[in-house]
A and B are shown apart, each in its own frame.
Chain A
Amino acid sequence: MKKPGIEREIIAMRVAREFQDGDVVNLGIGIPTLASNFIPEGRRITFHTENGALGFGSLAEPGQEDIDLTNAGGQFVTLQPGMSFFHSADAFAMARGGHVDITVLGAFQVSEKGDLANWMLPERGVGNVGGAMDLVSGAKKVIVAMEHVSKNGEPRILKRCAYPLTGIECVDLVVTDLAVIEVTPQGLVLREVAPGWTATEVQRLTEPKLIVAKELREIEL
């Protein structure tokens, strides 16, 4: 039986710990979006969405949905004091221009140099790049939230990505169900492991060589 890692919500919770008070954060579809539910207390986070809003509120309650008020994943959100709207060119000026502190994205694969592949499965022949290439080129910090291995158990942290790239040398931190790994000029540093997992076990499911941090810990929430 496969040994379990941490749940999707826990990955999201761990990602949210990276948000610092005052940060502007853009969340991609999937696990990243969940991170908005787990902002550490006392940290004021402004969410940016590439369809043209800053500072939106929580998800809309049933019956309160408004087609003119969604996030980039098509979820209905709510107005909040201090919110602003803008057009797509401005939305990406903010992203490319370094005004967004953190972007969190899902991924198919990440390489040891921090290359990211998250938009196209080669066998499909067509993919949706959306705003991912722009976000990773401009956000100050790029966090990937994903499952550590594929459905078939293949490593998704690789020496080189096999799938088409979203960006090169752009990822700063990878949070998976098994580990928290930092991309550094020296290589991938294993900082935290899921409860019950050892560095050796995580290494076995990771293609490139991991540098084990001296102060390796269990994933902290």
Chain B
Amino acid sequence: MPINKVVASADDAVADIHDGATLMISHFGGPGGMPERLIEALVRRGARNLTLIGNTAGISNFGALEGQPYTNVSALIENGQVKKVLASFPAPRSPSTPNPFEKLFRAGKIELELVPQGTLAERIRAGGAGIGGFYTPTGVGTLVAHGKEERTFDGRRYLLELPLRADFALVRAYKADAMGNLVYRGTSRSFGAVMATAAEVTIAEVDEVLPVGQLDPEAIVTPGIYVKRVVVRAKEPKR
């Protein structure tokens, strides 16, 4: 029997996400790269006290087509399932339209670790690659340097940053095969291809699963070794 990582539904794919889990959820900001069906399934599942790692804490009207709202990580925050967020862009641009995260943050009901975007990506990369930490010039002399070891190499100051790993990574890709090999589409690759490497269980939400052998091995971005489950985006309108 060949390996088959395809599961029947988004609900099946997230069925073991437990209270207190740490999750990486791919996206840059808008609907591109956002695993909408997995997020919706996780809202239905209702796991609580989650820690979310991702570029934003859920913003709307970003890179979205007019009249086409999209599900984002705000759905989990609004549903009271999240205790902590690690993000580079947690709030909307304008303070006059706070997102669910900002409302809870102002009320002291959710924690934030603000991470510069490149540091976030590299911490996740390090987590997936078994690297124990790295020194980066990003953030030297700023608020994000607080409590971090600083070293100077060749006359330049660097901060020690530690790797990030998660229990689950929910990743949106374009096409997969049953072995979990993934390709992405355009700028929607952003965090997904990094997060896929850094979780105990990586779940990919894709448009299409092709027969094994149909994805060009030269073009595969995420090799199947990183992926545990694949679920196809339902074609019907979302619930």
Contacts and interface: CB of A to CB of B under 8 A. Distances in A.
Interface in A83-104: 85-89, 91-93, 95-96
A128 B88 contact: yes
Contacts of A49: 187
A131 B117 contact: yes
A166 interface: yes
Contacts of B192: 87
A18 B190 CA distance: 29
Interface string B138-168: 1111111000000000000000000000000
Interface stretch (A63-71, A171-179, A182-190, A193-201): A63-71
Nearest to A79: B186
Given A69-B187, A128-B89, A133-B138, A91 B105 contact: no
Secondary structure class of chain A's binding surface, majority of residues: loop
Interface residues of B, number: 53
Contacts of B62: 74
B194 A87 contact: yes
A134 B124 contact: no
B29 interface: yes
A65 to B, nearest CB: 6
A167 B194 contact: no
A51 B139 CA distance: 19
Contacts of A128: 88-91, 93
B125 interface: yes
A65 B62 CA distance: 13
B117 A129 contact: yes
B142 A166 contact: yes
A85 B30 contact: no
A53 B193 contact: no
Contacts of B190: 51-52, 87-88, 91
Contacts of A133: 116, 118-119, 138-139, 142, 144
Contacts, number: 156
B63 interface: yes
B103 to A, nearest CB: 11
A126 B90 CA distance: 8
A81 interface: no
B20 interface: no
Contacts of A89: 121-122, 124-125, 194
Contacts of B32: 67-70
A132 B118 CA distance: 9
A134 B119 contact: yes
A65 B55 CA distance: 22
Contacts of A53: 186-187
Contacts of B226: none
A109 interface: no
A112 interface: no
Contacts of B2: none
B28 A72 contact: yes
B181 to A, nearest CB: 15
Contacts of B88: 128-131
B142 A126 contact: no
Contacts of B30: 67, 70, 74
Nearest to B193: A87
Q: Which of A49, A128, A129 has the most CB of B within 10 A?
A: A129
B31 interface: yes
A88 B121 contact: yes
A125 interface: yes
B189 interface: yes
A46 interface: no
A36 interface: no
B194 to A, nearest CB: 5
22 contacts: A50-B118, A51-B28, A53-B187, A65-B65, A67-B31, A68-B185, A68-B188, A74-B30, A85-B186, A88-B121, A89-B194, A92-B119, A95-B118, A96-B137, A126-B90, A126-B102, A128-B93, A131-B118, A132-B116, A134-B119, A134-B138, A166-B142
Interface of B: 28-33, 55, 62-65, 88-91, 93, 95, 102, 105-106, 112, 114, 116-122, 124-125, 136-144, 174, 184-194, 221
What 10 A-B pairs come out closest when comparing CB atoms? Answer: A92-B118, A134-B118, A68-B186, A168-B141, A74-B63, A88-B121, A87-B193, A131-B117, A133-B116, A74-B62
